[in-house]
Amino acid sequence: MGLRSIFGGIILVLSLWFKVEGGGWLSYDFYEKTCPQVEGIVRAGLQSLHLSDRTSPAALLRLMFHDCQVQGCDASILLDSNNLTMPSEIASPKNFGIRNRESISIIKSMVEAVCPQQVSCADILILAAREAVVIAGGPWIQVPLGRRDSMSPNYTLANAVLPTLNIGVDHMLRNFSKTGMSIEESVAIMGAHTLGITHCKNILDRLYNSSDANYNTMDPELKKMLRLICPLRSSTANISFVINDPTTRVFDNQYYINVMKRRGILSIDSDLLSDPRTVPFVLRFADDQGGFFRAFSSAFVKLSSSGVLTGDQGVIRRICSAMN
Ligand code: HEM
Ligand SMILES: *[C@@H]1O[C@H](CO)[C@@H](O)[C@H](O)[C@H]1NC(C)=O
Ligand SMILES: *[C@@H]1O[C@H](CO)[C@@H](O)[C@H](O)[C@H]1NC(C)=O
Ligand SMILES: *[C@@H]1O[C@H](CO)[C@@H](O)[C@H](O)[C@H]1NC(C)=O
Ligand SMILES: *[C@@H]1O[C@H](CO)[C@@H](O)[C@H](O)[C@H]1NC(C)=O
Ligand SMILES: CC(=O)N[C@H]1CO[C@H](CO)[C@@H](O)[C@@H]1O
């Protein structure tokens, strides 16, 4: 064996590890020995879920964000409350509209059947979100693994740190910069809103409240249409919804084209067009889907790796919805 191949081996080993912002290490071959089947099981699970529910990719991508934003991606969002003194994170109004938690539990039980007590719910959630992006037509993202599950969900923290409707670009950028994201990556991760829906209650202020900062930032034609779907003082604002972009089930760069045309649905979407720091990236991604995919992929890895439990921290839960 020549010196060159030894050197090559070292480079290879180094590149299999991923340093966690402010913590331990994840690795790209974490389950190579303990559960090589895991990626295939998650992929098959996602494909069958997608056949019965075409909106599942959107749900899983948002689920991943709302898990990772609170104490890092530790599957705490999947825990059901086991007693009245400790409400689960999902009880937070900020988690309104979160769905498909149970599908992670189902995939986990499929993984447990093959590799018991090896793979964390947190990693399965990240792999599911990664497959969701691919199934919807987005990039295939290589993700480092080795996250551990939390035994301490924090309702109060979830309430405090999940984004508000009027978070604004400044806060949004500051929050994402904590995960190591650049401005370009922060704009790219918002491109997740190329999938899915928004319930009427989340846009009523934009449509009807003239004191709202984003009352006048929406294309009037779109506003007219959304007002028909979301009437004022309707009793169904919690269940009626609008689609986030015209290609709501396709992971593409249509979101940025929409934002550019003042057709962003949520306030934060429209805000991206009014801040001088973010607007250049909106324009570029609207014109360059490949560039969006590349920036989204690196943003996804940063969001999903920041502040996670590794090594002997946390546990591997057997059932994702319960402490066990
Ligand atoms: C930081 C600023 C953000 C704000 C204020 C925000 C807010 C929202 C709101 C209010 C909804 C509608 C929920 C509903 O009515 O059911 C939504 C949907 C969604 N969000 Fe975000 N979001 C943000 C960032 C993100 C990020 C970073 C991701 C993913 C990486 C994401 C992924 C999604 C997805 C996929 C949906 C559609 C969900 C579905 O169809 O069920 N969002 N977001
Ligand atoms: C509720 O659950 C928490 C965490 O499992 C535990 O510390 C606490 O004692 C429980 N409270 C009751 C009343 O069972
Ligand atoms: C709508 O959802 C909110 C939680 O975001 C809840 O507090 C409220 O009671 C719901 N309203 C109706 C009419 O169901
Ligand atoms: C939950 O988060 C709140 C707010 O950050 C914090 O004050 C509290 O100590 C946390 N509780 C636990 C049990 O970690
Ligand atoms: C309208 O928006 C303003 C500014 O955000 C807010 O203070 C006020 O409570 C809103 N009014 C209603 C009726 O929701
Ligand atoms: C909604 C949210 O997460 N807000 C936090 C973002 O980060 C700032 C500090 O940079 C906090 O003050 C916010 O609470």
pLDDT 10s digits, 96-110: 999 999 999 999 999
* Residue 9, pLDDT above cutoff 70: no
- Give the catalytic positions in this structure: 66
pLDDT average, residue stretch 261-281: 98
Q: How far is CA 48 from CA 42, 62, 199, 320, in A?
A: 10, 19, 26, 20
pLDDT 10s digits, 211-245: 999 999 999 999 999 999 999 999 999 999 999 99
Of all atoms in ligand 3, which is nearest to the CA of residue 96? 5
Say how many Å lie between the CA of residue 199 and the centre of ligand 3: 11
* All domains in the chain, ordered by first residue: 3-163 (1.10.520.10), 180-302 (1.10.420.10)
pLDDT average, residue stretch 43-48: 97
pLDDT at 1: 38
Phi, psi of 312 (to 5 degrees): -100, 15
pLDDT at 305: 96
pLDDT at 295: 98
Give this prediction's pTM.
0.93
Mutate to test the pocket of ligand 2, among 80, 83, 154, 315 (most ligand atoms within 8 A of CB): 83
Beta bridge partners of 19: 25
Say how many Å lie between the CA of residue 164 and the centre of ligand 3: 16
Say how many Å lie between the CA of residue 104 and the centre of ligand 3: 25
* Residue 3, pLDDT above cutoff 70: no
